[in-house]
Copies of this chain bind each other. A is one copy, B any other.
Amino acid sequence: MPEVEIGIGKSARLAYGLDDVAIVPSRRTRDPEDVDLSWEIDAFRFDLPIVASPMDGVVSPATAVKLGELGAVGVLNLEGVWARYEDPEPLLGEIASLPADRVGARLRQIYAEPVKSELIRDRIREIRRSGVVAAGSVSPHRVEELVETVTRAELDLLVIQGSVVSAEHVTKGNPEPLNLKTFVRRLDVPVLVGGCSSYQAALHLMRTGAAGILVGVGAGRSSSTRRVLGVGTPLATAIADARAARMRHLDETGAYVHLIADGGFRTGGDIAKAIVCGADAVMVGSALAAAHEAPGRGSHGGMAAAHAELPRGARIDVGSRASLERILYGPADDDSGELNLAGALRRAMALCGHASLKELQKAEVVVLPSQDGRR
């Protein structure tokens, strides 16, 4: 591990973000049509390595179905507006149209409404009925309370997500904290858990028996964790470290734990770079919030923006650009890279000679030392 001494006796590793790296073409090229973008986790197979972020502006029951039909998977926030209100559509419309300085206060009111088990159950069933994989997220401190509801509703994939989630949460209070190490193994449903951003943290989350872990702390576009808290490892390094933990865990247990990189993906190129660093799939928020079908109507932020005492995120206006299908599969009509994510990933793999995501994970990257070096 390359380290520098930031002062006498205090060392620090150099950590890189996705914008610091670029993929090097190999000596082969391929036809884009020959490239396979699929991945599998537990019993599920997906055509695209794209997981839609459990944010109220991104995933509704309807978009979860649509995303599933398109080969991706949408994770419904099981503590969000769909779990609190019978019909949250008017509220989502209201948030999107509020002036920026009044959003925070209104969000706090909206999220004051209690979560309701029946609504969670109904939302999960609505997604399942359509035949796609039903995935939903809960926060670590409510997962014990809600787990019975979600398993009864036959959720397919459970996401336990917080800014930072560790396998060893320490508390002086009562009740006992959630012990992920025993909790995850007790469940029948495969679990994705995170975020995390170090080798040790990733390794211990893997040891809980999770099927996948979310890698990335504070890297999303709508997040300001890095600025407000000073906490977070840039994503390229976080993913590569988690990949090393995955190799050790695989060696120790024979179990391959999937890495879902989470944070600020805009283009297919961003996704390709995350996979080269070691990710199996990526969690996408803002880029999908720009879909015509997105419940946020062109804006989104999520619950961190509604934190009562220390918001770490804001409503971001992403506009309403194109259908979900076009964001994923094109055609694009400009060169922003924000449309046709799958096509760009496919073409990047073809140009670099990689036929599958597992091959792409072994591709070579370069680090670009300066802004101008990008030319």
Contact = CB atoms under 8 A, between A and B. Distances in A.
A18 B375 contact: yes
A340 B170 contact: no
A373 B230 contact: no
Contacts of A177: 31
Interface in A326-348: 330-337, 340, 343-344, 347-348
B28 A170 contact: yes
Given A6-B16, A25-B166, A372-B19, A229 B351 contact: yes
Interface in A135-178: 163-173, 177
Dominant secondary structure at the A interface = mixed
A99 interface: no
A228 B268 contact: yes
Interface stretch (A181-189, A286-294, A304-312): A304-312
Given A232-B22, A308-B331, A244 B8 contact: yes
Most central of A7, A163, A331, A355 by chain B CB within 10 Å: A7
Given A104-B333, A264-B375, A347-B310, A170 B236 contact: no
Contact of A305 (B227, B243, B335): B335
A14 B4 contact: yes
Interface stretch (A67-75, A76-84, A123-131, A198-206): A198-206
Contacts of A172: 31, 33-34
Contact of A29 (B166, B219, B277, B309): B166
Interface of A: 1-2, 4-10, 12-31, 33-34, 104-105, 163-173, 177, 196-201, 203-204, 217, 219, 224, 226-244, 247, 263-264, 267-273, 276-278, 305, 308-314, 330-337, 340, 343-344, 347-348, 351-353, 355, 364-375
29 contacts: A4-B16, A7-B243, A7-B277, A10-B277, A10-B278, A10-B365, A12-B364, A14-B369, A15-B368, A17-B368, A17-B375, A20-B372, A22-B230, A22-B233, A24-B198, A25-B197, A26-B198, A29-B165, A170-B355, A228-B267, A228-B335, A230-B276, A231-B269, A231-B352, A305-B335, A313-B335, A369-B370, A370-B370, A371-B372
